A and B are shown apart, each in its own frame.
Chain A
Amino acid sequence: MTTNTQITRTSNLPKIIHYAKEFLFWFVLIATFLFSIFPLYWMFITSLKPRTDVEMTPPTFMPFVDYQPTLDNYVDVFLKDRAGAGFAEADQEATRKISEFPTTLTNSVIITTVTTILAVLMGTLAAYAFSRFQIKGEADMRFFILSTRMLPPVVVLIPVFLMFNQPGELVNNALQNIPISFIQAFGESIKDFSLRNSYIGITLLYITFGLPFVVWMMKGFFDEIPKEYEEAAMMDGYSRLEAIWKIVLPEAFPAMLATSVFVVITAWNEFVFVLLLNRDNATTVPPFLFSILGYGQVEWGRTAATSVLFLIPIIVFTFLARNHLLRGVTFGAVRR
């Protein structure tokens, strides 16, 4: 049917218009393709350039043709600032210390992984409860949860900063008002506890900001699975929790994967909170990348190489999750 009408339509058109249309289509497609790919290509080839070639004008574009690729910039990523002007000398390289890059990359991986697993698990359970149980004031609660999805981080930046600085002291101040000695003693003992520069603090924060999205996505998913599905299992003697564990969660796994795509991307790329809270310890890659910029002259070769290394894990992840990517990023915005 479709092809028939299409053929009659196009054959009615003069051939030249048909070709012009086809040309225009491909022109737009390829132009946008180049626009999309060029900045990444440029980063990649720059990271392979010898130091002297990085800022050459006119620029060179073809590795192996215009220049011989080297891994010098990648060596730079793992080493601290150059000691002096003669940076090309091998003996100076030997005296340079290891940079923060390996540490920050590990931190990024740890924080993103823990955030994703916990946020998706907690959010899935909450979404299940929303979908299956009658909860009083459910609509209001959903509004509250969803509205946080678009909260600008700067709005909570000051309280987060204040609370993460000395949460122990805040709790202690409150506990000292209670005239029970062991509670006061407990308050004293946690006085110096700080959430800054720690994995726990930043992960907690990321989970909170990831949750609304997970709840939103997973609720849509659970609404589609018929209730009878686990009710049948409960008839067969499963308890509700067993039914969730053995029937619902395996069924929900692909949807949880799709949801995690977005959570991973957000946690991996988050910048503002780490910059504020984890400046000295448990820092992730984005602030590190920002810090090597320095002021004034930017070392583009090193920056490019760091960017490439930072992008590789996310490229691998998006490649592995490619079948879920489209669903993961469009769900919640596109409701059927």
Chain B
Amino acid sequence: MNVYWTRNWEKIVGFAFFLPSLIAIIIFVYGFIGWSGLVSVSNWKRGAEPDYTISGFDSYARLFGIGEKYAAGIDAKRFKTGMRNVVGFTILFIVSCIVIGFTLAAILDRHVIGEGFFRSVFLFPMAISFIVTGLTWRWLFTPGDSNIGSTGINLLLQNFGLSFFNPNWSTDMVYSIPADSGLGQLLINIGLGWFASPTFGLSLGVITLTIAAAWQLSGYTMALYLAGMRGIPEDLREAARVDGANEWQIYRHIIIPLLKPITLSVIIILAHLSLKIYDLVVAMGGEGQGFVKDMPALNMWDTTFASARFAQGAAISMVLLILISLLIIPYLISSLRQEEER
């Protein structure tokens, strides 16, 4: 068997091995993204009958409320609310996961008794469906009424003597900086009035979503940090201790900087989960009154499959795609480059 032939054979085998995966991904992912893009600029306004005549960026204009015709439209209003919610949710969710996850990892890294047990318990929620998580937390956040009294979390708050705080978690209004308060006036005076408007607010519904999502994924964050901490040689801490650093300084100046790549991974993984969140919101009761819990993915589903407005729905999904791409493409490129350098 000559060498030339063997090389070719290897090439064919190699190609045959990854061809199925490649074809599947090209069709189902890239082909379909293109298809979605085409629908979003098409004239397919309403109904189940496809219409692929190109009609321009009308659906995007409607979404962003561009132009007189669309500025006050319901599409623009719902999309804006959804974007506000998803951004607030993403930030709160990532911050709480990182804080809880890092703290737990730091504690478990000290080899507490029963470390394996605690690790499994904290990690387990990530194996649970968002539907089950959503249902459970939805129940815990059911506020009760005047007949049966407070229930769930509200009862817990009441038992701690916080009965003045008795919100209706799923319908209550949006909390934002009041425009007539000192801070609100200051913001308006320096030209940042937008921050003092309800557009910048956060609804209690979004906070309940955050709690449920953080419950599910802070254990996962912990696992990532724990794996990272295990990779840090003990000598480094030792050396710092010899130099007189206390535990806090060791974390501040050695551990946290070394775990930066992991923090980046955590942010990317959690952010792409939260930007596309759908199941959890649906299980926790949907978008709610006045879209207090609305998310772009929900908006897309309702627009496309409930109202049969395909072009409009496709436009929402394309905006969501661009949003996520802005986040992950730089990350992927940098991590692939790093890998090549090694």
- A253 contacts partner chain B, Cβ-Cβ < 8 Å: no
Q: Is the CB of A152 within 8 A of B336?
A: no
For window 128-169 of B, CB contacts with A under 8 Å fall at 128-133, 135-137, 139-140, 144, 148-151, 155
Q: With A58-B155, A129-B18 given, is the CB distance from A152 to B276 under 8 Å?
A: yes
CB closest chain-A residue, reference B35: A159
Q: Is the CB of A147 within 8 A of B328?
A: yes
Complex Cα gap A250–B275 (Å): 39
- A334 contacts partner chain B, Cβ-Cβ < 8 Å: yes
- A143 contacts partner chain B, Cβ-Cβ < 8 Å: yes
Q: Is the CB of B14 within 8 A of A122?
A: no
CB closest chain-A residue, reference B220: A329
Complex Cα gap A108–B268 (Å): 29
Q: Is the CB of B223 within 8 A of A311?
A: no
Chain A hits for B20, CB < 8 A: 122, 126
A interface footprint on B31-51 (CB within 8 Å = 1, 0 otherwise):
111011001000000000010
Specify which of A43, A154, A215 lies most central, judged by the most chain B CB atoms within 10 Å of its CB: A154
Among candidates A2, A143, A315, residue contacting B336 with C-beta atoms closer than 8 Å: A143
Among candidates B119, B310, B324, residue contacting A150 with C-beta atoms closer than 8 Å: B324
CB closest chain-A residue, reference B323: A152
Chain A hits for B131, CB < 8 A: 269, 271, 286, 289-290
Among candidates B13, B32, B278, residue contacting A241 with C-beta atoms closer than 8 Å: B13
Q: Is the CB of A139 within 8 A of B127?
A: no
For window 113-136 of B, CB contacts with A under 8 Å fall at 118-133, 135-136
Among candidates B29, B33, B128, residue contacting A311 with C-beta atoms closer than 8 Å: B128
CB closest chain-B residue, reference A130: B18
Complex Cα gap A276–B287 (Å): 18
Complex Cα gap A64–B317 (Å): 51
Among candidates B13, B112, B129, B329, residue contacting A268 with C-beta atoms closer than 8 Å: B129
Complex Cα gap A143–B329 (Å): 9
- B305 contacts partner chain A, Cβ-Cβ < 8 Å: yes
For window 11-33 of A, CB contacts with B under 8 Å fall at 25-26, 28-29, 32-33
- B251 contacts partner chain A, Cβ-Cβ < 8 Å: no
- Give the interface size bracket for B toward A: 35 or more
Q: Is the CB of A141 within 8 A of B22?
A: yes
Complex Cα gap A28–B296 (Å): 35
Q: Is the CB of A32 within 8 A of B238?
A: no
Among candidates B136, B149, B340, residue contacting A43 with C-beta atoms closer than 8 Å: B136
Complex Cα gap A207–B100 (Å): 33
**B234 vs chain A, min Cβ distance (A):** 6
Q: Is the CB of B129 within 8 A of A286?
A: yes
Among candidates A208, A325, A336, residue contacting B123 with C-beta atoms closer than 8 Å: A325
For window 227-283 of B, CB contacts with A under 8 Å fall at 227-228, 231, 234, 238, 241-242, 261-262, 265-266, 268-269, 272, 275-276, 278-279, 282-283
Question: How many A residues touch B, CB cutoff 8 Å?
Answer: 93
A interface footprint on B82-107 (CB within 8 Å = 1, 0 otherwise):
00000000000000000010011001
Q: Is the CB of B32 within 8 A of A211?
A: no
Chain A hits for B124, CB < 8 A: 36, 315, 318
Complex Cα gap A18–B18 (Å): 57
**A316 vs chain B, min Cβ distance (A):** 11
B interface footprint on A303-336 (CB within 8 Å = 1, 0 otherwise):
1000100110011001000100110011001111
Q: Could you write out 14 A-B pairs with CB less than 8 Å apart?
A: A25-B107, A29-B107, A57-B144, A148-B25, A154-B278, A155-B318, A158-B314, A205-B28, A265-B127, A271-B130, A289-B132, A326-B226, A334-B228, A334-B231
In the A-B complex, the 9 residue pairs with the smallest Cβ-Cβ separation, listed nearest first, are A133-B14, A152-B276, A126-B18, A269-B129, A129-B17, A159-B35, A159-B32, A156-B32, A150-B272
Question: Hey, which bits of chain B sit against chain A, CB under 8 A?
Answer: 9-11, 13-15, 17-18, 20-22, 24-26, 28-33, 35-36, 39, 50, 100, 103-104, 107, 110, 112, 118-133, 135-137, 139-140, 144, 148-151, 155, 215, 219-220, 223-224, 226-228, 231, 234, 238, 241-242, 261-262, 265-266, 268-269, 272, 275-276, 278-279, 282-283, 296-297, 300-301, 304-305, 310, 313-314, 316-318, 320-321, 324, 328-329, 332-333, 335-336, 339-340
